[in-house]
Structure 1
């Protein structure tokens, strides 16, 4: 999948992956590098500035970046999700206003819709409210975990419960909105250069022209496949890289691993095929359960692939320098089950669906 990326970007990501993981490389340089390669525009219609194609091409791009750095792929996921929200919005003027800077990487896009995804599944209430004041909206609440909050400029999509009643809104907030406060970066175990922080909203007043969707409950099923599908790209790329490394370390008495490596590779390819078919047919819009199941399976494949890399490489993985890249992938693999919707949340939803059936 790395062929999706230009060679210079692949080389830069490979050389920078540990620095990105440890926070030694400024997050401000990552998104512009991805944008110069045209990655945010993949799957965006050419007539509005993209390079065309479908969401599957975007998943391939996220996977290709994840082969080198999951943190960079996580940033691309959030950025591309925000772009997808604009593409699926009826608000053409907002799309026209924001899209050029997003495609060029001059401003970051961030998805703070994890809360509303859990809200839709009945797992938690919305944490942001909106009240009408004249022709504007006043937004209050907190977004506890958001990635790609670029210090020098970001737009973030958030769901807000209307205090006066009615369906929840999806709104676009900006880094310089009065009353919006970005915290310091969260103290993550890895992926430290991903501009991941929390946002507090205190009386943030925005015009109604910044509404992405008037009815979140009706709108979200249409964007959920891309939201989760692009997450799956992160898992695909990480699993693919670990399997590649494990095969490289084959031999030297480790041929016993060959059947497991082949089985895991086949399983990964089968999941990819099912994922891409469902995304292209829009089957996941009305039937999200198979998509949830694929996300769970991919997390399991990642765990198997990283474990196989460890077994194939042996003790060198536990030595600081030769095991440096493996240690990063091990940390990255620990994040895959936690991405919202987490595996626990997905399994909870699946268990409820099974009971209701």
Structure 2
């Protein structure tokens, strides 16, 4: 369970964080103060020794209160995972303490890289070798957790000499990096989401996360997508919790659908956590793609069921139960990179069967 102080703050700030009237600089500080950023990090490196599955569960609990705060957590925790898996020990020792303390924001600019890995699009950042490292040019059109007080962003970079892509950490203090104004989103506004442009940016070799993106990214993909699944898990659980309260009266006709959705969601969660722990998603990425799709659909279905259980009161602008915010949050999940369209396209490209989740214990998801 989350620290009650954090839960109460998230519940109180959820609407403001969604519409942009909340203080986006405070989110990371609150998360760090509750020590949730340390979940799944080795104790020797300042963590609590739990697993990535535990980090997904924490993310889901945050998302039940505020998807905006959970999105910030997702970016920070994913960047931390990059450092944990990086062979660059010096870089990890340099950055990890301030990331775990929330003093430095970590931004995961690897959505473009994950799409590149699946052949969906080319890399948007290129580099040429210099005496001390690389000169970098390009852009990242949508990156979250670019806190104005300081951040470091991970980017997949196409080398111009041998063409082999690699992964760099790029600090916001470098000359040649330009952050746009925050993107005008219809929700999740207090997430420091903006675009980055790199122009003749000199990056030293000490900032190298991994020298081969095609090796590094497949190993990172389960944690990357698994944490994203936590967003949908939390939203679905919160909507179903609201439904449970409302079907005890004259909405009892919805009870069967409610119980079916809740059972399915928890089966999905069990399958996700077991796959993250046993490592099968590295060799079976399509199984994880199907789960990502299924979680997004579960969240959408749960929000729609909440609307039915609430009736017309949910459509009133003065509704105090957060339905309108959850409706906006559910609209974000299908377009979160990689989007559901991109995932389905990749499954189709690989000759996969219909995108239907099946419990791993009964039948593997085919791809």
TM-score tier, shorter chain, comes to: over 0.9
Q: Does 1:156 align with 2:138?
A: no
Does 2:256 align with 1:255?
Answer: no
Residue 266 of structure 1 is matched in structure 2 by 263
- Paired position in structure 1 for 2:60: 63
Give how far 1:251 is off: 3.1
Give the whole-Å Cα distance in 2 for the aligned partners of 1:232 and 1:279: 12
1:232-311 to structure 2, matched below 5 A, reads: 232-311=229-308
Quote how far apart the aligned CAs of 1:47 are.
0.6
* Distance of 1:6 and 1:113 partners within structure 2: 30
Q: Which has the higher helix share?
A: 1
- In 1, Cα distance between the equivalents of 2:126 and 2:267? 42
Cα deviation, residue 92, structure 1: 0.2
* Corresponding position of 2:325: 328
Which consecutive residues of structure 1, in runs of 5 or more, have no partner in the other structure?
Answer: none
CA distance, structure 1, for counterparts of residue 150 and residue 144 of structure 2: 13
Distance in 1 between the 2:76 and 2:352 partners? 36
CA deviations 1:198-257 (Å, max 9, x no partner) are 000001101111010100001111110000000001100000000000111113321110
Q: TM-score, normalised by structure 2?
A: 0.95
Q: Distance in 2 between matches of 1:349 and 1:136?
A: 34
Secondary structure in structure 2 of the residue aligned to 1:171? strand
Aligned to 2:360: none
Give yes or no for the alignment of 1:18 onto 2:15.
yes
Alignment correspondent of 1:201: 198
Which residue is 2:209 aligned to? 212
Tell me which of 73, 80, 84 is aligned to 2:81.
Answer: 84
1:322, distance to aligned residue in structure 2 (A): 1.8
Per-residue CA distance 1:81-137 (angstroms, 9 max, x = gap): 000000000000000000000000001001000001001111110000011011221
Are residues 1:29 and 2:5 paired?
no
What is the CA-CA distance between 1:166 and the residue it aligns to? Answer: 3.4
Query: Are the aligned partners of 1:316 and 1:323 in contact in 2 as well (CA < 8 Å)?
Result: no
Query: Would you say 1:119 and 2:120 are equivalent positions?
Result: no
Q: Distance in 1 between matches of 2:30 and 2:300?
A: 29
| Residue 324 of structure 1, CA deviation | 5.8
Calculate the aligned-residue CA RMSD, in Å: 1.1
Q: Residues of 2 paired with 1:103 and 1:50: CA distance?
A: 8
Matches within 5 A, 1:43-192: 43-192=40-189
2:253 match: secondary structure: helix
Q: After the TM superposition, which segments of 4 or more aligned residues of structure 1 sit over 3 Å from their partners?
A: none
Give the superposition deviation at 1:355. Answer: 6.4
Within 1, Cα distance between the matches of 2:188 and 2:321?
14
8 Å Cα contact 1:117/1:341 also seen in 2: yes
TM-score (norm. length: structure 1): 0.98
* SS state at 1:76 partner: helix
Shift of 1:323: 5.4
Give the match for residue 342 of structure 1. 339
Contact 1:63 1:73 in 2 (8 A): yes
Provide the C-alpha distance between the structure 2 equivalents of 1:276 and 1:248, rounded to a whole number of angstroms.
Answer: 28
Does residue 229 of the first structure (1) align with residue 230 of the second (2)? no
Task: Find the aligned partners of 2:5 and 2:230 in 1 and give their Cα distance.
Answer: 21
Structure 2 stretches lacking a partner, 5+ long: 354-366
- Whether the 8 Å CA contact 1:129–1:162 is kept in 2: the answer is yes
